[in-house]
Structure 1
Amino acid sequence: MKKLNLSLLISTFFLLTILARLIAAYFFADTRLDNEWGKLVHNLEFSGILGINVVIDEFTAIHKFANSKDVVLPSAFMPPLYGYFIYYVKVLLANSFDLIKVIIFIQIILSLTSIYLFFKITRKFENLYFSLGLSFLFSFFPMYVYSSVQISSIILQIFLLLCFFHFLLIFIENKKILNLIYFSIFSGLLILVRGEFILFYLITLAYFFLYHNKNFKALFLSLIIATIILSPYLKRNYNYFDTIVLTKSFGHNILKGNNPDLKVEGSGKYISNQKDLKIKTNNYYEIELDNYYRNEAFKNIKENPKIYLILYFKKVFSFLFFDLNSTYPGYYSIFHILPKIVLSILSFCGAIVVLRKKSFFQFLSIYYFSNILLFSIFFILPRYSLILLPIQLLLSVQFIKIILKKLNFKNEII
């Protein structure tokens, strides 16, 4: 009877998870591909070049959908994986189905798979019912449900991140090379979907293969495999830009987050393709423009270091907890802000208490704080915190378990 009840519980959970995403798709799904991803895919299809900038004249290029007479400049502005994902789905469909609906359908499948992966990860540390409860919270977290029906790379990022953690844990347990290969492949793919992940990948290697348990063979093999995954795109960029670069948006991002507007969310007011800069619209256009943005941001910071240091800590607070001055529609909705604040407080406390002991949770705490400290250098958008959602849930549970133990609850309850 108990087994039957459990099967019914899991089946109900699965059906509710699907239903929540179908309802979200009906009310909130994107219906047009008119953002940066749309421009990238359109221009790739039209010109064979993954590029967002289209030449207007000798010193001007703008983000636009290219037409038959336009020249598209090669781009290193955005990580390529999600753009190529949309492009190849479009090629396979051959205009037989609605592209947006198919992309959203695939993202819903990825989100469901991510929930299963998250459940598998939690089962390594928690009992069955605790794992189901955590998976329930993960599945129905409002921003996660909403994001699954938006044209955004965040669902793909979460799926790849959970694959990354899943195979890392399995390799740590059984030391089988195949699991290290999978871990390394997903590491490379994560870097292609979020360039900054290369730092977190290196932190992971350093923690598990140098600090936690020295394993130089696994370290070098993983680096080789991840490099192989990255090499086609690195080669593409070298051919276009004569330099080895994965993405070139550091200047854009740091200026957007560090300018006289002093906004946590950043301001695009100081980001423009300025004709008077006399940057020629050739293959090096984005590289040189990004260098200009970088220099402007550094100049701002050098001129007013105290102001930008205060802004940095405001961004850290916004990432850790919530933005006091968000302009995003629905940000202060009770369905978004209440679970965000509760989870933020619990996960922050959990991250602090698990830092002391060498373990997977100590690593998660380091990973958690590294993300926050890095992204706060730039600017903070609401969706950025979503990539940490699985980690926040795991850290929150560790804090709750410690509190329950201190309150003398029985071990079997927790």
Structure 2
Amino acid sequence: MSFSAVDVIRAKRDGHRLTDEQIDWVVDAYTHGVVADEQMSALAMAIFLNGMESSETARWTRAMVMSGDRLSLDVDRPTVDKHSTGGVGDKITLPLAPLVAACGAAVPQLSGRGLGHTGGTLDKLESVPGWRARLSLDEIAAQLSSVGAVVCAATEGLAPADRKLYALRDVTGTVEAIPLIASSIMSKKIAEGAEALVLDVKVGSGAFMKTLPQARALADALVGIGVDHGLKISALLTDMSVPLGVAVGNAVEVAESVEVLKGGGPADVVELTVALAREMLSLAGISVDPAAVLASGEAYETWARMIRAQGGDPDAPLPVGGHKHVVTAGESGVLSTLDAYAVGVAAWRLGAGRARKEDPVQAGAGILCLAKPGDRVVEGQPLLELRTDTPDAVPYALDALTGGWTIAESAVPPGPLVIDTIRG
């Protein structure tokens, strides 16, 4: 059945529900170049302004899944994946995937690259010498069977409609449309073929969803799509008002993740890693305490095997930015706030992130948060350590940090890291 792109655009522009047939046609036609970028841009803006009913979003997601391949994961373990909506210092996938694998599940983690102030898992792992992101379907299957975890780039055949639409949304001001965010995330995860999925939906200044109602709406949409497609699914709403852990960047986040896998690391990174692992194992039907496995060192051994399986050397030194700049406290008191967005933008400007998907990143660039909210500091004490291979970027990073923290006589006790859980 063929439709007119203009008629589909007008229908959504005027607030109508798109029919299943209209959705199937327009997604397929856009994938194959029948619908032009400017027409899909208009439709994306109409969706941004007028929204979609849950049944529309579910059908849109299905159409994007059907635009390409769907993996068949033939492994002898229950399969479970995790997806984060993105944050600052959010390196959780790195310790989480090997931890859940060490507990007995198979974790097929098809990940992406960073854009703007949020970091990308593939960029972080590519700071490990020799590690490669691109694997064939046979390599993915083999590694899941032998190691239990794989973190790699999505294959070209998975949800190609989403790949085209994602790039278009980025340049048309429609990134924040909840139906498009939800269908983008879920089309790739459904095509990936895992039996269960746990979502980490971030909320706060360093997240795409700045308020709790926005984050809850996105989580509800994601979980609803998963239920419609037969997934075991749940979503954790987690705080992203402060950077996670100490390290923000690529190699620095890998180093911090290794600390966690060896039984150390910042308390908030450990807490969230274990919380997500528990939820993933629950959906997978595995009764193992991930905290005990993390403490035992088994998860680190799985990490080392995972890195070696993809050509990396887990024992090799990680890159370090050649230039360092330390930001100190201007007064004594208690660090009461440290804005995740400000730190994320500063790390991006130092070279840890990219403005466009084609831009390169610096493996050694980033920021170490030497003090966190609640810590008592004295005048002149180091608060942040900036690292980069391009010293000229430091002033721009410092501009981004202007007003990014406050020092007061006391600090408000922090709220919970895990705010709520929504289950399908």
TM-score scaled by length of structure 2: 0.30
Structure having the larger proportion of residues in strand? 2
- Considering Cα pairs closer than 8 Å and 6+ residues apart, tell me whether 1 or 2 has the greater RCO: 2
Q: Which has the larger radius of gyration?
A: 1
Structure having the larger proportion of residues in helix? 1
